Structures are given as C-alpha cells and as structure tokens.
Amino acid sequence: GDSVTQMEGPVTLSEEAFLTINCTYTATGYPSLFWYVQYPGEGLQLLLKATKADDKGSNKGFEATYRKETTSFHLEKGSVQVSDSAVYFCALSRNNAGNMLTFGGGTRLMVKP
C-alpha cells in the first residue's frame, strides 16, 4: 500500500540556519503531495502542496518540489526562525479521492535563538 517515510527527529538548528526535512513516498499512480505543520498545542495545518511531478509548492519561505524520479518531496527553508519550531508531516493523497491522506511519522524541528 501507499506509504510515506520521513527523517526521524528531532532536528535542532540555530536561528537563520538552512533546513531540509527529507520525505520519500511509495504509491501507485500519481498522488498529490503535502506538507502539514503542527505547532505546539494546535491541530495540523496545511503548509504547502504539489499536485503533479516537477511542481514546486511554497509558503512562508518553505518550499518543496515533487520529484517523481526519486519519489521525494523534501521540505526546505533558507533561514529558519524560532517560530518555525513545530512538528512537520509529509503526506500523500490516496488516488485523489475523498481527500484521504497517508501521513509520515512526523519530524520535530527545534530552532534555538
């Protein structure tokens, strides 16, 4: 079945450092790919998405490119802030039907001043 694999955390960075969180997937067909973020004490919220190969999703300085050849959707940000500290989830849609998502295990990011 479909699956999503993320790098294990926590990832600890200093403010203004470069961020990469790796995400790879296994799926039949051509799923859409998503990054959701969960801030402390809150529910998940959509950060960005890409619906087809070579699409780049971007939001709030974060970006990720849908790479079909490597089945990857790595999240990057050029300069992280303390306020980016959160848990990040990579996810894929299941056959583009009903918005059912398969999530990865989540990666906790801690940014220190």
Partner 1 sequence: DVKVTQSSRYLVKRTGEKVFLECVQDMDHENMFWYRQDPGLGLRLIYFSYDVKMKEKGDIPEGYSVSREKKERFSLILESASTNQTSMYLCASSFSGSNEKLFFGSGTQLSVL
Choose which of 19, 21, 32, 62 interacts with partner 1 (CB under 8 A): 32
Strand 56-59: give its sheet, edge to edge.
19-21, 75-77, 62-65, 56-59
In angstroms, how far is CA 40 from the centroid of its own chain? Answer: 17
Choose which of 26, 45, 59, 81 interacts with partner 1 (CB under 8 A): 45
Residue (82 or 100) nearer to partner 1, CB: 100
Choose which of 62, 89, 109, 111 interacts with partner 1 (CB under 8 A): 89
Of 37, 27, 53, 31, the C-alpha closest to 98 is: 31
Q: Residue 25 pairs with which residues in a beta bridge?
A: 4
Does 106 bind partner 1 (CB under 8 A)? Our answer is yes
How many whole angstroms separate alpha carbon 68 and alpha carbon 54? 7
Of 55, 11, 57, the C-alpha closest to 34 is: 57
Q: x-or-dash pattern for partner 1, window 46-85, by CB under 8 A?
A: x--x-x----------------------------------
Which residues contact partner 1 by CB under 8 A?
A: 4, 6, 8, 32, 36, 41-46, 49, 51, 89, 93, 96-106
